[in-house]
């Protein structure tokens, strides 16, 4: 009789001790579902067209990483024996479904990013790529952790026989969800890799803008300079050095665009086209000033010392050569960008407008350059 009473007391104690652990697991799983649904809602509200996508993705990534820590905490506290309930299995199904939905929604965001014609800020554009890749990686890790937790819970369950049918149903659901999750993550990452290989021309805008500003500044500076017998050689040598540096920078950008066009497509940004058109305008103005300089040097040549005149004509010829090279390369930049454009149909009107502007300006630039060169060559011949 005493043995029977003691065994009952022990059994009752074990049962009482097991209740908090099982109740705790059920609550923890349900809390994970609630938090997971919050993550799902957060991702669903992110729209690339609304702007600020990088900040929102960054916040979401941080939230997912915090969520992974909670999942890991629940996993670490698991201890056998566990008595599974239908609510626990429902929670495990819900958790795998949440991971699946997050992965599927990441495809939507990646497609929205790919559909962009250009972004106002290159940093925002590249940060979005990085954030999307990080998001897909975190979602994949989340799916793995949830699956590992489910496997461990099932391994520790002491009522598998009673719950066998329900456990099999849960495992089928999880297997299907994990497959969909992995496929969605792969699609997202494929889209991001494709996007990273597709350059938006906004990447060139800062450099093109600086080239334009420097060219316009030099043209304005040249317009304020007056050549005479005493300063012509020194002034033209100074301008020759500045123009050679400017020409070298144009060639660097040209080489970059040429390299990019061999391995990537482009989304043409309207600002890029504006810069390319404005650069040819600046080059035309540059060449017109040189034509005026050439006429001035020709007029004052008889009054100049031969060494100074020789230096002045040499600088003039180098200046015209650099202008000629820059003008041609700027047009070629535009041609390479346009040929590789993914959105040529959408931007066709602006592209045609830019090409017309460039062709007209280049024709005027070459005319001025040739006039300046002819003047200098005639001067060289006449002055022997």
* pLDDT per residue as tens digits for the range 123-148: 456 667 777 878 888 888 888 888 88
Residue 165: how many other CB atoms lie within 10 Å: 8
Question: Which stretches within the chain are classed as H helix?
Answer: 2-45, 53-76, 86-114, 122-156, 164-197, 202-224, 232-263, 270-300, 306-339, 348-383
Alpha helices of 225-347 — where are they, by DSSP H? 232-263, 270-300, 306-339
Whole-number Å distance between alpha carbons of 311 and 314: 5
Task: Tell which wins on pLDDT, 253 or 369.
Answer: 253
Among 94-98, 269-273, 339-343, the least confident range: 339-343
Residue 17: pLDDT band (50, 70, 90) is very low
| Of 320, 310, 308, residue with least CA distance to 384 | 310
Torsion over CA: 30, 31, 33, 34 (sign) = positive
- Indicate the pTM of the whole model: 0.55
């Amino acid at each position: 009789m005493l043995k029977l009473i003691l065994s009952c007391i022990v059994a009752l104690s074990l049962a009482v001790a097991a209740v908090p652990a099982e109740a705790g697991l059920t609550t923890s799983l349900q809390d994970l579902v609630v938090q997971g649904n919050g993550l799902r809602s957060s991702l669903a509200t992110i729209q690339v067209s609304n702007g600020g996508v990088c900040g929102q993705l960054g916040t979401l990534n941080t939230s997912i990483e915090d969520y992974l820590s909670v999942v890991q905490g629940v996993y670490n506290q698991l201890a056998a024996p566990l008595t599974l309930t239908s609510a626990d299995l429902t929670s495990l199904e819900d958790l795998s479904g949440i991971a699946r939905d997050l992965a599927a929604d990441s495809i939507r965001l990646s497609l929205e990013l790919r559909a962009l014609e250009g972004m106002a800020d290159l940093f925002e554009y590249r940060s979005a790529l990085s954030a999307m890749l990080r998001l897909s990686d975190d979602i994949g890790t989340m799916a793995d952790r949830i699956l590992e937790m489910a496997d461990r819970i099932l391994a520790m369950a002491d009522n598998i026989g009673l719950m066998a049918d329900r456990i099999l149903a849960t495992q089928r659901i999880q297997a299907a969800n994990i497959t969909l999750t992995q496929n969605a993550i792969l699609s997202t990452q494929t889209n991001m890799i494709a996007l990273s290989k597709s350059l938006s021309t906004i990447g060139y805008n800062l450099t093109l803008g600086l080239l334009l500003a420097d060219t316009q500044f030099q043209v304005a500076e040249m317009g304020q300079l007056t050549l005479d017998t005493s300063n012509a050689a020194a002034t033209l040598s100074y301008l020759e050095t500045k123009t050679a540096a400017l020409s070298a920078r144009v060639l660097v950008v040209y080489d970059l665009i040429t390299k990019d066009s061999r391995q990537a497509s482009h989304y043409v940004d309207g600002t890029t086209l504006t810069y390319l058109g404005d650069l040819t305008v600046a080059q035309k103005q540059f060449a017109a000033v040189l034509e005026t300089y050439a006429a001035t040097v020709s007029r004052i040549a008889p009054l100049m010392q031969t060494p100074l005149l020789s230096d002045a004509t040499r600088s003039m010829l180098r200046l015209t050569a650099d202008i000629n090279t820059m003008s041609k390369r700027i047009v070629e930049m535009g041609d390479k960008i346009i040929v590789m454009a993914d959105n040529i149909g959408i931007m066709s009107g602006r592209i045609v407008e830019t090409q017309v502007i460039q062709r007209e300006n280049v024709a005027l630039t070459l005319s001025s350059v040739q006039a300046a060169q002819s003047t200098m060559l005639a001067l060289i011949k006449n002055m022997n």
